[in-house]
Amino acid sequence: MAYLDHAATTPMLPQALDAYVRTARALGNASSLHGSGRTARRTVEEARERIGEALGAKPGEVIFTGSGTEADNLAVKGVHWSRRAEGRNLVVTTAIEHHAIADAVAWLGDHEKADVTELPVDKLGRVDTAVLADLLESRGAEVTVLTCMWANNEVGTLQPVAEIAALAQAHGIPVHTDAIQAVGHVPVDFAASGAAALALSGHKLGGPTGTGALLLRRDVKAVPLLHGGGQEREIRSGTLDVPGIAALAEAVAHAVRTQEVESQRLALLRDSLVEGIRALVPDSIYNGDPDSRLPGNAHFSFPGCEGDALLMLLDAAGVECATGSACSAGIAQPSHVLLAMGADADDARSSLRFTLGWSTTKADVDALLAAIPEAVRRAKTAGLSLRLIT
């Protein structure tokens, strides 16, 4: 199979897998005081130091979680709850967030009576900072937290996180950024960004599934989602997954260390993919910012096709990709990201996301380009037949 769905999950790096297996052979709860426990704790703290060094954070700002989704929920809900006591109740988000953020914010609105405002984006999927500036001037005193992703998981557009954080800081507002797609693929410096919180996920950059982290400044309070043993600054209770944490640190360190060279390699492969699809399918629409985007992301709409049908035709031809974010797979709804960018519902349903990663080769791209013309032809024929019937 030609695997072009790295944004959904990426194969584990050999280094990360080795770190996991090596650590899993050892016994020890990192909260225990005996020798085995202290050894496990040392592994965790060394991992914390490695991740902090790689991402411009202090070791004490690294909080380990069970996933990127948990990290996002902990940041948005936890910071909102901690600042609600100050008489604030407004959560500011964007129209293109991953469901880990969008659904968490919606839950706060539905169940916690939070006031929610979504920032619009332009046709490239970029947040309108002028709208944000106006909002903060008029309602900044009401805001508990502002959350904006670093890189969009569907169309790959990068957001001006540092600019957004600077605008928010002028009003004393903490900014959380979902950097799950960004870490290891573009330069990410937590301290330099000005963000108060940042989420990352292991399986998006060559680490194991079920691992993640929240970078949270020491001066930012967050009410915990879980209560128990008081681990991780009493913000995230639960026995620490020492092998997963060791593998996560190895993956982050490797991805960041090789990011510049690997991003250049992936960008060349992506550009070849984009040029090929445009030549083979002239009416295709390339979505997202053509310049300021993730190096391994290519997102297209194919007018006249249903994305699900096109995906299955490519799958049958040996090419794996996605219709959107993996968490919304199987739901027959147009992409909320494309709708926010101004696409109509039909084009939003006709989209496919091709994402490249460390294991991607030219052969994978060639396999897609060999399969795409026939898949599009058949998908359009099927779509036309369905429209004639209905």
Q: 111 burial class (0-12, 13-18, 19+ CB within 10 angstroms)?
A: exposed
161: Cβ contacts below 8 Å, ≥ 6 apart: 148, 150, 175, 177, 193, 194, 195
Q: Is 272 helix (H, G, I), strand (E, B) or coil?
A: helix
Range name among 177-181, 344-348, 375-379 with the lowest pLDDT average: 344-348
Radius of gyration of the chain (CA): 21
Domain positions in the chain: 2-9+259-389, 14-257
With a cut of 70, say whether residue 324 has pLDDT above it: no
Q: Which of 267, 274, 320, 275 is nearest to 293 (CA)?
A: 267
- Per-residue pLDDT tens for 222-261? 999 999 999 999 999 999 999 999 999 999 999 999 999 9
Q: In the structure encoding, which two tokens stand for residue 76, read together?
A: 């948005």
Can you tell me the distance from the alpha carbon of 211 to that of 248, in angstroms, rounded to the nearest whole number?
A: 7
With a cut of 60, say whether residue 389 has pLDDT above it: no
pLDDT at site 236: 97
- Residue 347's φ and ψ, nearest 5 degrees, are -65, -35
pLDDT at site 135: 98
CATH class of 14-257: alpha beta
Can you tell me the distance from the alpha carbon of 224 to that of 201, in angstroms, rounded to the nearest whole number?
A: 19
Domain with residues 2-9+259-389, CATH architecture:
Alpha-Beta Complex (3.90)
Is residue 333 very low, low, confident or very high in pLDDT (cuts 50, 70, 90)? confident
Share of the chain above pLDDT 90, in %: 94
Arithmetic mean of pLDDT over the chain? 95
With a cut of 90, say whether residue 70 has pLDDT above it: yes
Measured CA angle at 269 (ends 268, 273), to 5 deg: 115
Asked if residues 180 and 204 have their Cβ atoms less than 8 Å apart, the reply is yes
Q: What is the pTM of this model?
A: 0.95
Measured CA angle at 277 (ends 274, 278), to 5 deg: 85
- Per-residue pLDDT tens for 125-144? 999 999 999 999 999 999 99
- Per-residue pLDDT tens for 153-198? 999 999 999 999 999 999 999 999 999 999 999 999 999 999 999 9
pLDDT at site 382: 81
pLDDT at site 352: 97
Instruction: Check if 148 is active-site.
Output: no
User: Which is the catalytic residue, given 148, 305, 321, 327?
Assistant: 327
Asked if residues 4 and 319 have their Cβ atoms less than 8 Å apart, the reply is yes
Asked if residues 51 and 244 have their Cβ atoms less than 8 Å apart, the reply is no
With a cut of 70, say whether residue 385 has pLDDT above it: no
pLDDT at site 331: 55
343: Cβ contacts below 8 Å, ≥ 6 apart: 287, 301, 334, 335
Can you tell me the distance from the alpha carbon of 348 to that of 300, in angstroms, rounded to the nearest whole number?
A: 10
181: Cβ contacts below 8 Å, ≥ 6 apart: 7, 149, 150, 151, 152, 153, 156, 204, 294
Decide whether 2-9+259-389 matches 14-257 in CATH topology: no
Q: In the structure encoding, which two tokens stand for residue 245, read together?
A: 């944490």
Q: In the structure encoding, which two tokens stand for residue 347, read together?
A: 């084009």
With a cut of 70, say whether residue 387 has pLDDT above it: no
- Per-residue pLDDT tens for 31-65? 999 999 999 999 999 999 999 999 999 999 999 99
